[in-house]
Amino acid sequence: SLEQTVFEGSADHLTFEKLKLLKKNGVDRLTLGVQTLDETVLKESNRFQNNDEFFRCYHEARDAGIPYINVDLMVGLPGQSMESVLMTLEKVIGLKPDMIHCHPFFPSEFSSFSKEGRRLTDADLKRRKLLAELTMKVKKKHGYRETPYDADGLTPEAINVQLADAIRYNSSYLGLGAGAVSHATGVLRYGNTNEVGLYTDTHLKGECPPVHGKILTQRDEM
């Protein structure tokens, strides 16, 4: 399988200079976490980017020469209507990103949603499922097709090799950055510290940032 360097980021933090630097250092697949272009829903979800930043970042990533761009969306967010989802999807499809993920909203125990004591109702779960099915139909209508072990892409080459190989071959991968997870097949699965300052400070000192992980047995890998 081919090697691939993937970078995931948010539009409000990615300037043109940073995008050119990513391209210069071999990044060939960029994932932009957008979730929605409904700014009312964004505020409800404690997201900081605005639509102007997203469109600016997307076009600058193309100008920087990054070959493949994936856009991450989310369905079933609090306050999100069917009209909101379709509006977002229509605008994103208009940009022709190489791949579009539409993730169902699964609030973890660490999210502000859960910490506030909120829970998804049966009606929320049903609506989330319907929205996820709707986005698949809309993407298919516009030429996006299922890829092995990944989301819908315009071409087979749009696939996230790291993700697909991890699922198909149980392959190794290296995660760089605070909170990133790595997998050394048959040896270790580990995650970097979530503290950005601690991660960067130790790197600058030429040391290895703190990690947490688990030594893997054959049974674990299976």
Residue 1 has pLDDT above 60, yes or no: no
Each residue's pLDDT tens digit, 68-85: 999 999 999 988 999 999
Cα–Cα distance, 87 to 20 (Å, whole number): 30
Q: Is the pLDDT of residue 199 over 60?
A: yes
Could you count the other beta carbons within 10 Å of the beta carbon of residue 5?
Answer: 15
- Name the helix (H) or strand (E) containing 125: helix 122-141
Q: Angle at Cα 56 formed by Cα 52 and Cα 57, nearest 5°?
A: 115
pTM (predicted TM-score): 0.87
Spell out the residues 6+ positions from residue 105 whose beta carbon is closer than 8 angstroms to its own: 74, 75, 76, 77, 120, 128
Supply 23's token pair. 């391209």
- List, as one string, the DSSP characters of 106-117: ---TTSHHHHTT
Residue whose C-alpha is closest to residue 71's, from 8, 129, 22, 24: 8
| Structure tokens given for 71 | 């856009």
Ordered alpha helix ranges (H), 25-95: 39-44, 51-64, 82-95
pLDDT for res 152: 94
Query: Does the structure show a pLDDT above 60 at 66?
Result: yes
Quick one: what percent of the chain has pLDDT higher than 90? 78
Give which of 93, 83, 104, 19 is closest to 56, Cα–Cα: 19
The confidence score (pLDDT) of residue 7 equals 95
The pLDDT score that the predictor gives to residue 45 is: 80
Three-state DSSP string of 134-156: HHHHHHHHCCCEECCCCCEECCH
pLDDT at 190: 95
- Per-residue pLDDT, averaged over 165-177, amounts to 91
Exposure class string for 62-83: b at 16+ Cβ within 10 A, else e: bebebebbbbbbbbbbeebeee
- Residue 10 confidence (pLDDT) above 70: yes
Give the Cα separation of 189 and 18 in Å (integer): 29
Q: Is 7 exposed, middle or buried (0-12, 13-18, 19+ CB in 10 A)?
A: buried
**59: its two tokens:** 């076009």
Q: Identify the pLDDT of residue 113.
A: 81
Q: What average pLDDT score do residues 144-161 get?
A: 93
- CA 13, 19, 20 angle in degrees (round to 5)? 150
Can you name the residues that pair with 190 across neighbouring β-strands? 182, 213
pLDDT tens per residue, range 111-150: 778 888 888 899 999 999 999 999 999 999 999 999 999 9
pLDDT of residue 2: 64
